[in-house]
Chains A and B, each alone.
Chain A
Amino acid sequence: MLRATSTSDARPLSPASAWAAEVAAVFVKDWRCEFRTRYALNTLALFAFTTLVVVSISLGPIGIDRARGSKVLPVLLWVILLFSVAAGLPRAFVQEEESQTATALRLSATPSALFCGKLLYCLTLVGALELLVTPVFVTLMSLKVESPGLLAVTLAAGGYGLAVGSTLVAAIIAQARTKGTLFSVLAFPILLPLLLLAVELTFSAVGGGGGSGGVALPQLLLYDASITVAGLMLFPVVWNP
């Protein structure tokens, strides 16, 4: 019985704990709604599956041209991830506006906690997407990974940047009428540096760049830190009137 979870007898939480509880509440709510509708999961999985099949038939072992594979395949991997994310992640905020629950959220949630809760939800979605897509992509394309550690770090840092950038853009476009167009226009300049760095690092990880990634890894981590700070600073402005 849900009522048994009443918190009236509990000691008052410190501001930091209360903030963290808000973040957790948004995260749990989003996943609970997602498991009951499966909108984002289905969209991401369907898009990823379709593009994986198309790419593997065109360029993979069952295709014909693998001569330029090590150059092209990292690009294709990140194109698949980007477009899958673009198909599903904007719903995080658009859904709140379309179902008119945004008003209740604006009147209840601390903006920074709401942003972090949504970000956590998007991060787990991107993580699940990468876990689904990458092994299948590597297998289907017979891609030899020289540096699995670098690939894992690239996927983690690149996925994080994708999630933060998409969450922020989703919040910006949520109140607009032409959401789809606006997402592409705004996401392009925000995510382009991330994609260039992620592709370069993935290319290094599959043996094309010596395996270390050079300065691209610190640059990617710097990008992640910058976009996180920008998101936390901009979100209250774009979320509230």
Chain B
Amino acid sequence: MPSTTLRFKNLRRRFGRLSVLEGVSGSVAPWEALLVTGPNGSGKSTLLRCLAGLLSPDKGTIEYREGDEVLDTAGRRLRLGYVAPDLALYSELTVAENLLFFARLRRTGPERGFEVLDRLGLPTDRMAGALSSGMRQRLRWAWALLHRPRLLLLDEPFQNLDAAGEQGTRELLREHLEGGGLAVVANPSHLEIDHVAGHLDLGR
């Protein structure tokens, strides 16, 4: 697998006068996860949104490389996998319809998404709007892994999951990293996960 790296340097992001990120730097390489911790409001989600290309940092650089290709923000946005509490799929569609729709947008088949759903035990014929919060989190995982991304950005990835759901998603993360993928995992408290190569504490 060609080398994939994510590097970010001196990121700064303010909302009005409120400084959320100030001089945050880090990097992550294949087979590695970067753990980002900090209390509520410390900027974990803002950092992940900047890395995903959903927010522009006021200052600093983000470089994402897949092999010889350095991807710009638009390219990075379409390649990565993202799990976050504020990410929703269509409540008017079934689980399967959601995956088929996003597979079409991702220009890929839906097989990987269905495989993840099978492993996490989520019925595909249920309306997404009728899912419990734990089931919705499983669907977010299936959506994030649909296009087999090399980079996973995970914001509170085990939130609302029961023991079986957490074990299933931890296995998916471990397989992703052992397959040469990379991940940035944000959580309010320390998480015991395999292959953590770096820890960024945003606590004030």
B35: CB under 8 A from chain A?
A: no
Give min CB distance, B154 to chain A, whole Å: 14
Q: Report yes or no: A6 in contact with B124, Cβ–Cβ below 8 A.
A: no
Task: Indicate with 1 or 0, residue by residue over A103-129, a CB within 8 angstroms of chain B CB atoms.
Answer: 111111110010000000000000000
22 intermolecular pairs with C-beta atoms under 8 Å apart: A2-B94, A2-B100, A2-B124, A3-B114, A6-B110, A6-B111, A7-B103, A18-B107, A22-B104, A29-B93, A29-B101, A32-B93, A104-B102, A106-B77, A107-B78, A107-B80, A107-B82, A108-B78, A108-B102, A110-B105, A113-B105, A240-B74
Interface size on A, residues (CB 8 A): 33
Measured between beta carbons, the chain B residues less than 8 angstroms from A236 are 74
Q: Report yes or no: A109 in contact with B88, Cβ–Cβ below 8 A.
A: no
Interface residues of A in 200-241 (CB under 8 A from B): 236, 240-241
Q: Report yes or no: B104 in contact with A104, Cβ–Cβ below 8 A.
A: no
Q: Report yes or no: A104 in contact with B92, Cβ–Cβ below 8 A.
A: no
Contact A104/B88 with A7-B103, A25-B105, A33-B93 known, Cβ cut-off 8 Å: yes
A residues whose Cβ falls under 8 Å from a Cβ of B: 2-3, 5-8, 13, 18, 21-22, 24-26, 29, 32-33, 36-37, 99-101, 103-110, 113, 236, 240-241
B161: CB under 8 A from chain A?
A: no
A109 to B78, CA, bound (A): 7
Give min CB distance, A134 to chain B, whole Å: 30
Q: Report yes or no: B111 in contact with A8, Cβ–Cβ below 8 A.
A: yes
Residue of A nearest to B110 (CB): A6
Give min CB distance, B119 to chain A, whole Å: 15
Give min CB distance, A94 to chain B, whole Å: 15
Kindly specify which of B24-32, B51-59, B181-189, B192-200 makes contact with the partner chain.
B51-59
Most central of B55, B56, B87, B101 by chain A CB within 10 Å: B101
Give min CB distance, B106 to chain A, whole Å: 6
Further contacts, 6 of them, CB under 8 A, given A2-B94, A2-B100: A37-B92, A100-B87, A101-B90, A104-B102, A106-B54, A107-B80
B109 contacts which of A2, A6, A33 (Cβ < 8 Å)?
A: A6
Measured between beta carbons, the chain A residues less than 8 angstroms from B90 are 29, 33, 99, 101
A101 to B90, CA, bound (A): 7
Measured between beta carbons, the chain B residues less than 8 angstroms from A2 are 94, 96-97, 100, 124
Task: Indicate with 1 or 0, residue by residue over B67-101, a CB within 8 angstroms of chain A CB atoms.
Answer: 00000011001101010101111111110110011
Q: Report yes or no: A25 in contact with B101, Cβ–Cβ below 8 A.
A: yes
Residue of B nearest to A99 (CB): B88
A106 to B96, CA, bound (A): 20
Measured between beta carbons, the chain B residues less than 8 angstroms from A25 are 101, 104-105
A36 to B138, CA, bound (A): 24
Q: Report yes or no: A103 in contact with B97, Cβ–Cβ below 8 A.
A: no
Most central of B55, B89, B107, B124 by chain A CB within 10 Å: B107
Residue of B nearest to A26 (CB): B105
Q: Report yes or no: A99 in contact with B91, Cβ–Cβ below 8 A.
A: yes
